[in-house]
Structure 1
Amino acid sequence: MSSLLSRYATPLTTGLFLVSLVSGIALFFHLGTAAFHGMHEWLSMVLVAPFLLHVWKNWRPFLAYFKRLPMALALGLSLAAGLAFAWPSLTGNAGASANPTVAMVSIIAAGTPTEVAPLLEKTDAEVVAALKEGGFTAADAATPLSEIATASGQNTMALMATLAAMKAK
């Protein structure tokens, strides 16, 4: 390995890990989510390259860890923790552990403009008019919002953005 790669593998791993650590903690506590989400995802992906360089640079000492019980325990516990978090989504039993924002969007999207209008402090006619103005041509007071979006050739999240803008007025 060139001395340049050897010299920067560990410092880059450390620096990118710290970025991932700080952004991950901020995301966990829902602080600056818009600022940290993309940063966390992308720079965590960039972290893979210096991590692999670091492992390559330290290959022999790294292999020595596999001869001892702590590495097997750490890897086993890490795998078990990862599976515990992923299992509900992998098996389709997400239920209460699903993202509550997504769950609420689904609940609201199943409602009609007449049912959702009171949440927006508007009349059903105002909701239908705003949806039509927003390009949801299939809007009517008795059709579920998700069906309005689909029939109008748009997605539900675009419809939700239109409703949110209406509430902000």
Structure 2
Amino acid sequence: STISGLALYFHLGTNLFREMHEILSLVLLVPVIVHIWRNWPGFVNYFRRRAMPISLAVCFLAAVPFVYAGLSKPAGGNPAIALMMAAQKAPIAKLAPVLGLDEASALRRLRDAGFADVSGIDTVAALAAKAQLSPMAVMAQLTAPQR
């Protein structure tokens, strides 16, 4: 968990570590809970000492700037996701040049992929809904390298 956490922190192999880190962190909760349960009397004694409330207060104060920074960020999330959502709602005629295609090439790729009734005013989102596919599957047809 430490190694995967450090890799995620430094953005090394994010695709390799993210799911493993999340699942192993959940699994690691089991021994933590068992440890607290088995040592409950000693755990409670920590809260009787003056050091515990002081430590908790210091941790709380250290967290305040991070919470404030997170709450004061403008809403919007990941710009890559926002761009992809906008691309899925754009007409094929306007999306094609962004993908380095002309409208005819984009329509040909979609027709070759099995989208029979497609025109320049259709959107990726609408085509995906009609074909009961994910928009990413339709987008993949437009962005796949041609042989």
What TM-score, normalized to structure 1?
A: 0.67
Unaligned runs of 5+ in 2: none
2:85 equivalent in structure 1:
106
**Could you tell me which residue of structure 2 aligns to residue 132 of structure 1?**
111
Q: Which runs of structure 2 are paired with 1:28-67 in the superposition (5 Å)?
A: 28-67=9-48
Contact preservation (8 Å) 1:114, 1:142:
yes
Structure 2 residue identity aligned to 1:144: T
1:65–1:71: 8 Å Cα contact kept in structure 2? no
Instruction: From the superposition, tell whether residues 146 and 64 of structure 1 become closer, same or farther in structure 2 (CA, over 3 Å).
Output: same
Name the CA shift for 1:46/1:25 in 2 (closer, same or farther; >3 Å). Answer: same
1:133 positional shift: 2.8
Shift, 1:52, TM fit: 0.8
Q: Deviation string for 1:90-114 (max 9, x for gaps)?
A: xxx732xx12221111121121222
**Where does residue 160 of structure 1 map in the other structure?**
139
Query: Counterparts of 1:75 and 1:102 in 2: how far apart (Å)?
Result: 33
Deviations along 1:131-161, one digit per CA (max 9) or x if unpaired, are 2333444532112221221122212122222
Identical positions, percent: 31
What code does the residue aligned with 2:137 have? A
Deviations 1:105-129, CA, capped at 9 Å, x for gaps? 1121121222122232222121122
Q: How many residues align?
A: 144
The alignment partner of 2:11 has SS state of coil
C-alpha RMSD over aligned residues: 3.0
* 1:73 is aligned to 2:57: yes
Query: Where does residue 142 of structure 1 map in the other structure?
Result: 121
Of Structure 1 and Structure 2, the greater helix share is in: 1
Are the counterparts in 2 of residues 138 and 152 from structure 1 also a CA contact under 8 Å?
Answer: no
Instruction: Work out whether residues 138 and 151 of structure 1, in 8 Å CA contact, stay in contact via their aligned partners in 2.
Output: no
The answer for unaligned runs of 5 or more in structure 1 is 1-18
**1:60-107 Cα shifts (integer Å, max 9, x gaps):** 22222333313542674588678658758xxxx732xx1222111112
Q: Report deviation, 1:56.
A: 2.0
